[in-house]
A and B are shown apart, each in its own frame.
Chain A
Amino acid sequence: MSSFVPSTSLLLAMLVATGAAAQSADGTFSSNQRFVPKNGEVLYRSICQGCHMPDAKGAVGAGKFPALARNEKLEANGYPVFVVLNGLRGMPGFGLYLDDEQVAAVVNYVRSHFGNNYRDNVSAGDVKAAR
C-alpha cells in the first residue's frame, strides 16, 4: 500500500520478540487516550488517510471525503489548523487527541505534499493561538 507501513512479517517479528509490546516503533498504537507519534507523515498515515486516503485524493460513496491533494483551500494555513482542531461536519475534531506540535506537524506535512506546495509552515504557537 504505502512504503511507510512496515511489512507485516517485520511487525509480527517485532511483536513476538518484545512480547508485550503493543505499539509499533513509529509510535502508533501506543495509547488509546491520545495519538503518540510526533512526525507529520506518521500522523497523516495513521489518522488522516483512514478517511482522506493514502494518496490524499479522498473518496466518494454515498457522500465523500474531500481530496487534500492539490487542494487550494489549504493555502490559508489557518484553515486546516481550524479543521483538524475542531472538525468539519462529519469529520471529528482532533483537538483533544493531538497537542499543538502534532497539529502543526500534520498540517505542515499535508500542505507540503500531495501536490500542495505551501512553504509557510505553521508553528505550535500558531496552533495554540487557534485553540
Chain B
Amino acid sequence: MSDSEQHGTSRRDLLKLIGTVAGSAAMYQAMTSLGVAAESPYSGPIKLEGDPKGASVLILGAGLAGLVAALELRKAGYKVQLLEYADRIGGRCWTLRGGDRYTELGGFEQQCAFDKGLYLNPGPWRIPYHHHAMLDYCKRFGVALEPFVQVNYNAYLHSHRAFAGKPQRLRHVLSDFNGHVAELLGKAVSQNKLDEMVTQEDKEILLAALRRWGALNRDYTYAANGFTSDRRGYERDPGGGLAGAPTVSQPVGLGDLLKSGLWRHLATGNIYEFHTTLFQPVGGMDMIAKALARELQGLVQLDAKVTSIKQDAQRVTVTYQNSKSGGDVRTASADWCICTIPLSILSQIDINVGNEMASAISAVPYDASCKIGLQFKRRFWEQDDAIYGGISYTDLPISLIGYPNTGYSDAGKAVLLGAYTFGPYAYELTALPPAERVKRAVAWGAEIHPQYEAEFENGIAVGWHRVPGVQGCYGLWSEETRKAHYKNLCQIDGRIALAGEHASYLPAWQEGAVLSALDTISRLHQRVVASR
C-alpha cells in the first residue's frame, strides 16, 4: 500500500511538471501512456467473430481466467476442456464457510467452525466500481452484489506506540490533520510567505478554500467549535428537547498527530482502487466462481494435476495425474492450449515453449500474504463501538481489522477479518502453525477491541504461500522484470498462450485475470480463424 502511494506521488510530480512545461494536451498524452487517464479496456461482452471450425482448446486451471476463457471460447464455437488441480472451482476466488476443511501445504489441516451463513473470503474480498469486466460478469451471470465499505470514519486508526496504545477514530485523525495543515498553510499565505508561489488573485481563492477544506476560523485557526465538531464529531452529540444541547469536541494537537504516524493511513481511501463505491458478492466471493462454473458443467475435470505441457506443429498434449492419489499418468490434448496456472507453479512444470516465454515464466516471484477470520459471539464492534463495516488499521502485526459489510445489527454471532498482512509479518505468520496464527491474531486484536477476550469463539488462518494451487498471493512484477519479460509472457508461443492475473497490469486483482483472459482469447481466435 505504501509503495503504491509513493509511486503515485512521484508520478504525479512528473505529470505536474509535464503539465506546466508543455500544456494540457501533452499532459493528457503523458497520462494515457502512463496508464492513468486511459479509457477502461473493457467495453462490454467480447465478440469473437468468425468460425473456429471445430477447433479445440485445452484450458489449464479453473480460476477466473480459465473460467472466462472457457465460457467465451465455447460460446464462439470451440470445443473446450478444463483441467483443475484442486477439488473445487475458482482458484483464488474462494470462500471458507463452516464445515469446510482446508489442508495447506505441509499437511496442516484446519476445520472451519463458523456458524451457518458466516464466511471468510481468504483471498479477494472487494471489487472497485471501475473493474468493469468483473461487474459485467457478475451482472450477466446473476451474482448479487452489495457495498463493500472501504472507508469508515468511525473505525479506528491504531498504533501501539502512540496515544498510549489507545485507538483513535479515523474522523478525528482525518479532520484534525486536514485542519492543522490548512491552518499552517493559511497562515503562511496570509502572512505573504508564499507570495513567490501564489499570485495575488489566487491567494484570495486559496485562503477561502483552505478555510472551507480545513474548517478554519476567520483568523485561519483550527479550534474546538461547532465548525470543527461538524467534521470530527462532538463530545456530546446534538440531541432533542431540553437536554439536547451538544458539547463540542477538542481537536488533537498537530505534534501528537505527526508523531503518532497515524497519518500514514489517511490516503488509503484516496487510492483509485479504493474509491467509493466498492462491492462484494452477497454470501461470499466464490459466488462468482460458482455462477460461472454452473455454465460449464461437465467440462471441468477436478483433481487433475498437470505435470507437463508439450506442443508440436499439430497439437498440444498435456500429462496430468490425480492430485490426491497420484496414480496413472493421463494425457489430454487439443489444437490449442490456454494455460492459467500461476507462474509460481508453471515455472516448475515441463513446458516446451521458446526461451523468451520460458525466461518470462521464471522471472516472477510470488508475494506473501496472510488473512485470518475470527468468529465472535456478538457484534461488539457495532453494539459497543458503533463501527458498521469498513476497516480499522494498526501497526500491530495483524495490520488491519475488517468488519463484516453485511448483516448489520444482527443479534447473533459474526465473523470479522482479524488480520490481513503483507511483507515480513505475512511471512512470519505463515511460518507459524495455523492455530498459533489465530491465537496471536486474537491477542493483538484485543489491544484494539478488549472485547475479543470474552467474545472470541474460533478462527481460521490462510497463509498464501501454503495454498497448494498457487504458492503465493500474486505475481510480483518490478519495473525491470516487466520491461524485460512481460511482452514475452503474453505473446502466443506456437499453440500455447498464457492468461491470468500474472499476465496483466492489475496484479492481485480479479479484473486483471479476466482482462488477461479476454485479451488472450481474442488474439488466439484471430490466429485460429486466419489459419482455417
Contacts and interface: CB of A to CB of B under 8 A. Distances in A.
A90 B443 contact: no
A61 interface: yes
B345 A62 contact: yes
Nearest to A65: B105
Given A61-B471, A92-B476, A22 B106 contact: no
A1 B107 CA distance: 12
Interface in A51-94: 51, 53-54, 59-65, 87, 89-93
Interface string A1-35: 10001001001100110011110000011011111
B21 to A, nearest CB: 34
Interface stretch (B374-382, B424-432, B503-511, B520-528): B424-432
A38 interface: no
Given A28-B428, A31-B424, A61-B105, A11 B365 contact: no
Contact of B428 (A1, A47, A89, A91): A47
A62 B469 contact: yes
A12 B439 contact: yes
A80 to B, nearest CB: 16
Contacts of B423: 32-33, 97
Contacts of A115: none
A46 interface: yes
Contacts of B106: 53-54, 59
Interface residues of B, number: 54
Given A45-B431, A61-B468, A8 B439 contact: yes
B273 interface: no
Contacts of A15: 443-444, 447
Contacts of A54: 106
Given A22-B397, A32-B397, A62-B468, A90 B85 contact: no
Contact of A47 (B85, B160, B427, B469): B427
A34 B471 contact: no
A12 B349 CA distance: 43
Contacts of B348: 63-64, 89-90
B358 to A, nearest CB: 11
A1 B436 CA distance: 10
Contact of A61 (B425, B436, B469): B469
B427 A5 contact: no
A50 B341 contact: no
A39 to B, nearest CB: 14
B347 interface: yes
A121 interface: no
Contact of A62 (B341, B395, B399): B341
Nearest to B361: A89
Contacts of B344: 63, 89-90
A49 interface: yes
Interface in B403-436: 421, 423-425, 427-428, 430-433, 435-436
B397 A62 contact: no
A33 B424 contact: yes
Contacts of A21: 160
A130 B158 CA distance: 40
28 contacts: A1-B433, A5-B433, A11-B439, A15-B444, A20-B161, A20-B164, A20-B447, A22-B395, A28-B428, A31-B424, A32-B421, A33-B423, A35-B424, A47-B428, A50-B430, A51-B471, A61-B85, A61-B105, A61-B469, A62-B85, A62-B470, A63-B349, A89-B348, A90-B345, A90-B347, A90-B365, A90-B472, A97-B423
Given A5-B436, A51-B465, A54-B106, 6 more contacts: A1-B433, A19-B165, A33-B423, A50-B463, A89-B343, A89-B348
